[in-house]
């Protein structure tokens, strides 16, 4: 298979390990990195010689001149956790390009004396020895691993002037930063590995070592040190990035949001099942499994595709969730985030806390749901919480997220419950508690727990009301749950025999005496958008009982056509009962945009003033253009789904309700061909720029077909983000700005 002698070098955190590999390079041998003497990789690659390095720590000061030709230098293997390990073939040119760019970015010279805090047998640590040897500097391998106290002593004696470590080890050092004095000013160089490190942590490191040139890299075994971020030269939000490409390295993001890399440092060939396989496409691009985005040349790492948490169809990066919780609670460690399978949401966010960590679990739960809500995820099933004695870690202190989930699944971890729990006082309250536990997927719910604070939303509220009626025999309405959001207040509401709520106008933000904004078809759905609007604007969400009637029909499988006239009249009545005189602004997202339009028409027919109508990503079906292939796929998918549901005769789930509701809304939009009356108000159409959820083979009319329906052009705007994302942070601010400008101009 290979035309040169292959020598296996057994992994050992040792200077001898480094020396042996460098020696093989000089002897024109191919090096294969082994785990042990019996490693299957020996036979796989045909290694004729195996070296067991001795353990040697301390100083390494040998200068090497490395080759840069295209002959094979080394075979490094990935972990092989998904079957047979994958061999990455690295040429001398590939390895040399990495070192050349690294030393140029860090501006190192032969005076470097580095404390290498990462094991020499890890790719990051070994790369540091290559870089330092190439420049003629010195590197120190600690006998007992990374030790901040040892670093402080060596700095104070001027024995070292550089440090390399991964973010998890830097966090260890930052927790002990008070041990450093003026000697911190002596540090000249820092390299940080490619784990995630927050902006605040980078700023803290800059502050501690003010004279250091600090570089963080992003890379993989197949494309080591692809990007660099000079932290000491970077400020603000750019510190959240992993830097940019240097030299001949190129970056792009493919249609699936994955990072693609091209350049001389990329391994072009892999060894799979003992056979060489191309690692790049026809244009030499390496398509990684990492998700990212590019902004002005800077790369933002968004996590691994296989690590992402898919909760209710929204992709979450566990690193980011972990960081946001830490920042909110002002903690540095003792917390880890992973994914756990969930029949209701696909996956839930698993938040694990070390048992010896001093973390307020009630506040942790509240904070987590707040963060998830800001990303458009509501529902108690969206998160699970547990205590563990220790996190499952890799050798470089990375949390093994799948192993974390196994601890929870196997009941090794202890489930966390809120301390403020008050148990049901009667069988009636117990029945409601059990229903809410099932709908919200919570282990325990007390009578003072708020349905919406636990993550409930309009869809789960519909399901809850349906189940509450079945469990208790009491004819609850959806409005009962919006106005009585705890089991205690619901119980008292029923015991007093209070009348059912026909409509409910819920203040989302109380403002001054400016034109109020009324959002239709949802209440808590619009909270984040309300938060982004100026304080002088009063913002309301509206519930009407006609929605309940509609949803009951959906639950019974009737999928009856929606009377937009009846629904818009109900919304207009609710607005007039709350505020008899205008002017008003009426708004809604998706189907709610059409209802907002008709509600405005109804108000104007009654002689009321409407300043503006805001339709947020409201798309008329006739404005969607699909290719023949796309239409065919859609038809067969719909037919298969209907046939499958009919044959299985399964009970209605939340997913079924959502699908039936979308179909009913789609028919109503498809049948809406002309506005029902004259409208003098401005009409704003705010579109979502990201329409990738529609897939390929789909295009849209610029105004989503509304000019034909209105008889005039709407004011069209476009906001970054997908359909629901645009009313959640950070995109909600852009939508709010558009609405504010419209109010001002009006």
Of 116, 202, 97, residue with least CA distance to 160: 116
Please give the Cα distance from 70 to 93 (Å, whole number): 5
List 262's β-bridge partners, or say none: 250
More confident residue, 203 or 553: 203
Please give the Cα distance from 148 to 177 (Å, whole number): 8
Peptide bond into 452 cis (omega under 30): no
More confident residue, 661 or 186: 186
More confident residue, 80 or 285: 285
List 342's β-bridge partners, or say none: 346
Q: What is residue 506's predicted lDDT score, i.e. its pLDDT?
A: 74
Please give the Cα distance from 294 to 742 (Å, whole number): 32
Task: State pLDDT tens for residues 128-138.
Answer: 999 999 999 99
DSSP 498: P
Q: How many residues does the chain have?
A: 746
Q: What is residue 130's predicted lDDT score, i.e. its pLDDT?
A: 96
Residue 634 has pLDDT above 70, yes or no: no
Strand stretches in 334-420, DSSP E: 335-342, 346-354, 383-388, 414-415
pLDDT class for 639, splitting at 50, 70, 90? very low
More confident residue, 670 or 99: 99
CA angle 390, 39, 194 (to 5 degrees): 50
Percent of the chain, pLDDT > 70? 86
pTM: 0.54
Instruction: Name the token pair of 76.
Output: 């490094």
| C-beta of residue 538 within 8 angstroms of C-beta of residue 511 | yes
Under DSSP, is residue 583 helix (H, G, I), strand (E, B) or coil? coil
| C-beta of residue 538 within 8 angstroms of C-beta of residue 508 | no
Rg of the chain taking only CA atoms, in angstroms: 30
User: If you average pLDDT over each of 40-44, 197-201, 339-343, 608-612, which comes out highest?
Assistant: 608-612
Task: State pLDDT tens for residues 460-497.
Answer: 787 788 888 877 778 787 778 887 889 998 988 887 77
List 688's β-bridge partners, or say none: 719
Instruction: For residue 94, count other CB atoms closer than 10 A to its CB.
Output: 24
Please give the Cα distance from 514 to 509 (Å, whole number): 12
> How is the chain split among helix, strand and coil, in percent rounded to 5?
40, 25, 40
What does 452-469 look like in DSSP terms, one character per residue?
TTTT--HHHHHHHHHHHH
Phi and psi angles of residue 686, each rounded to the nearest 5 degrees, phi first: -105, 115
**pLDDT averaged over the chain?**
85
Average pLDDT score over residue span 307-327: 81
Domain ranges for the chain: 6-304, 309-415, 502-624+675-745
The gap between the terminal CA atoms of the chain, to the nearest Å, is: 75
Helix ranges restricted to H, 109-241: 123-135, 148-156, 167-175, 199-208
| C-beta of residue 670 within 8 angstroms of C-beta of residue 621 | yes
Residue 28 has pLDDT above 50, yes or no: yes
Residue 366 has pLDDT above 90, yes or no: no
Please give the Cα distance from 565 to 602 (Å, whole number): 9
Q: Does domain 309-415 have CATH number 3.90.700.10?
A: no
Q: What is residue 643's predicted lDDT score, i.e. its pLDDT?
A: 44
Residue 59 has pLDDT above 60, yes or no: yes
pLDDT class for 82, splitting at 50, 70, 90? very low
Please give the Cα distance from 65 to 59 (Å, whole number): 19
Average pLDDT score over residue span 499-521: 75
Please, which residues have CB within 8 angstroms of residue 227's CB and are 6 or more apart in sequence?
Answer: 217, 218, 219, 242, 243, 244, 245, 246, 249, 251, 299
Q: What is residue 404's predicted lDDT score, i.e. its pLDDT?
A: 87
Q: What is residue 505's predicted lDDT score, i.e. its pLDDT?
A: 75
Q: What is residue 129's predicted lDDT score, i.e. its pLDDT?
A: 97
Residue 546 has pLDDT above 80, yes or no: no
User: If you average pLDDT over each of 345-359, 394-408, 445-459, which comes out highest?
Assistant: 345-359
Of 149, 125, 153, residue with least CA distance to 139: 125
Q: What is residue 448's predicted lDDT score, i.e. its pLDDT?
A: 84
Strand order through the sheet with 87-91: 49-51, 6-10, 30-34, 72-77, 87-91, 269-272, 275-278
List 258's β-bridge partners, or say none: 291
List 341's β-bridge partners, or say none: 347
CA angle 296, 301, 306 (to 5 degrees): 145
Q: What is residue 381's predicted lDDT score, i.e. its pLDDT?
A: 65
More confident residue, 731 or 460: 731
Please give the Cα distance from 102 to 97 (Å, whole number): 8
Distance of CA 597 to the CA centre of its chain: 34
Same fold, 6-304 and 309-415: no
Of 454, 448, 443, 451, residue with least CA distance to 468: 451
465-473 long-range CB contacts below 8 Å, 24 or more apart?
465/548, 466/552, 466/555, 467/435, 467/438, 467/439, 468/431, 468/432, 468/435, 471/431, 471/432, 471/434, 471/435, 472/428, 472/431, 472/432
pLDDT class for 359, splitting at 50, 70, 90? confident
Percent of the chain, pLDDT > 90? 44
| Distance set, CA 251 to CA 361, 372, 690 (Å) | 42, 31, 21
Strand stretches in 305-411, DSSP E: 309-311, 314-316, 335-342, 346-354, 383-388
Q: Which CATH number fits domain 6-304: 3.30.70.1290, 3.10.20.340, 3.30.390.50, 3.40.50.12780?
A: 3.40.50.12780
Topology (CATH) of 502-624+675-745? Rossmann fold (3.40.50)
Instruction: Name the token pair of 11.
Output: 């992994």
Q: What is residue 648's predicted lDDT score, i.e. its pLDDT?
A: 44
49-58, 69-78, 201-210, 511-520: which range is least confident on average? 511-520
């Amino acid at each position: 298979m290979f035309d040169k002698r292959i020598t296996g070098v057994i992994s050992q955190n040792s200077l001898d390990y480094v020396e042996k590999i460098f020696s093989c390079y000089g002897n024109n041998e191919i090096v294969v990195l082994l785990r042990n003497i019996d490693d299957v990789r020996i036979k796989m690659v045909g290694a004729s010689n195996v070296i067991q390095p001795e353990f040697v720590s301390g100083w390494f000061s040998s200068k090497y001149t490395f080759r840069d030709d295209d002959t094979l230098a080394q075979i490094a293997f990935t972990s092989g956790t998904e079957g047979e390990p994958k061999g990455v073939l690295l040429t001398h040119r590939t390895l040399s390009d990495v070192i050349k760019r690294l030393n140029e970015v860090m501006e190192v010279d032969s005076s470097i004396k580095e404390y290498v805090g990462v094991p020499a047998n890890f790719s990051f640590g070994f790369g540091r020895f290559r870089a330092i040897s190439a420049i003629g500097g010195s590197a120190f391998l600690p006998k007992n691993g990374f030790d901040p106290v040892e670093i402080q002593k060596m700095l104070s004696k001027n024995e070292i002037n550089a440090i390399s470590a991964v973010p998890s080890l830097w966090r260890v050092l930052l927790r002990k930063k008070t041990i450093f004095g003026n000697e911190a000013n002596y540090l000249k160089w820092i390299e940080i590995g490619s784990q995630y490190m927050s902006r605040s942590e980078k700023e803290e490191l800059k502050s501690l070592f003010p004279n250091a040139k600090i570089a963080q890299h992003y890379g993989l075994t197949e494309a080591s040190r692809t990007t660099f971020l000079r932290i000491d030269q970077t400020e603000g939000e750019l510190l959240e990035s992993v830097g940019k490409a240097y030299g001949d390295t190129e970056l792009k993001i493919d249609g699936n949001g994955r990072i693609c890399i091209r350049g001389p440092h990329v391994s072009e060939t892999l060894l799979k099942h003992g056979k060489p396989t191309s690692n790049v496409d026809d244009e030499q691009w390496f398509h990684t499994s990492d998700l990212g985005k590019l902004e002005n040349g800077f790369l933002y790492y968004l996590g691994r595709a296989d690590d992402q948490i898919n909760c209710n169809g929204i992709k979450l990066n566990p690193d980011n969730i972990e960081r946001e919780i830490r920042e909110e609670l002002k903690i540095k460690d003792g917390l880890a985030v992973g994914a756990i399978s969930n029949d209701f949401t696909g996956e839930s966010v698993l938040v694990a806390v070390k048992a010896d960590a001093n973390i307020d679990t009630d506040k942790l739960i509240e904070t987590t749901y707040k963060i998830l809500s800001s990303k458009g995820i509501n529902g108690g099933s969206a998160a699970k919480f547990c205590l563990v004695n220790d996190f499952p870690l890799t050798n470089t202190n990375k949390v093994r997220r799948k192993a974390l989930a196994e601890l929870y699944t196997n009941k090794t971890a202890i489930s966390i419950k809120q301390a403020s729990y008050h148990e049901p006082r009667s069988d009636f309250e117990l029945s409601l508690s059990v229903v809410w536990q099932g709908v919200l997927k919570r282990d325990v719910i007390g009578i003072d727990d708020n349905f919406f604070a636990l993550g409930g939303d309009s869809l789960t509220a519909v399901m809850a009301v349906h189940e509450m009626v079945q469990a208790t025999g009491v004819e609850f309405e959806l409005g009962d749950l919006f106005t009585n959001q705890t089991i205690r207040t619901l119980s008292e509401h029923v015991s007093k025999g209070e009348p059912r709520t026909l409509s409910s106008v819920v203040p989302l933000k109380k403002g001054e005496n400016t034109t109020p904004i009324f959002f239709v078809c949802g209440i808590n759905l619009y909270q984040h958008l309300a938060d982004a609007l100026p304080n002088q604007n009063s913002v309301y969400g509206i519930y009407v009982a006609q929605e309940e009637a509609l949803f009951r029909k959906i639950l019974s499988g009737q999928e009856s056509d929606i009377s937009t006239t009846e629904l818009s009249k109900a919304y207009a009545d609710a607005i007039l009962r709350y505020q008899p005189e205008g002017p008003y602004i009426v708004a809604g997202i998706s189907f709610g945009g059409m209802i907002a339009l008709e509600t405005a028409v109804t108000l104007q027919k009654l002689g009321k003033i409407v300043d503006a109508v805001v339709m947020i990503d409201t798309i008329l079906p006739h404005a969607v253009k699909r290719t023949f292939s796309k239409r065919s796929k859609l038809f067969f998918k719909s037919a298969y789904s209907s046939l499958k549901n009919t044959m299985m005769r399964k009970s209605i789930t939340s997913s079924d309700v959502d699908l039936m509701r979308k179909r009913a809304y789609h028919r109503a939009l498809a049948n809406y061909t002309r506005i029902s009356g004259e409208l003098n108000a401005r009409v704003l159409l705010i579109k979502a720029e990201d329409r990738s959820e529609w897939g390929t083979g789909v295009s849209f009319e610029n105004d989503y077909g509304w000019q034909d329906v209105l008889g005039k052009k709407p004011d069209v705007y476009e906001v970054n983000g997908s359909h629901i994302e645009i009313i959640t942070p950070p995109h909600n601010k852009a939508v709010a700005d558009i609405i504010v400008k419209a109010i001002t101009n009006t």
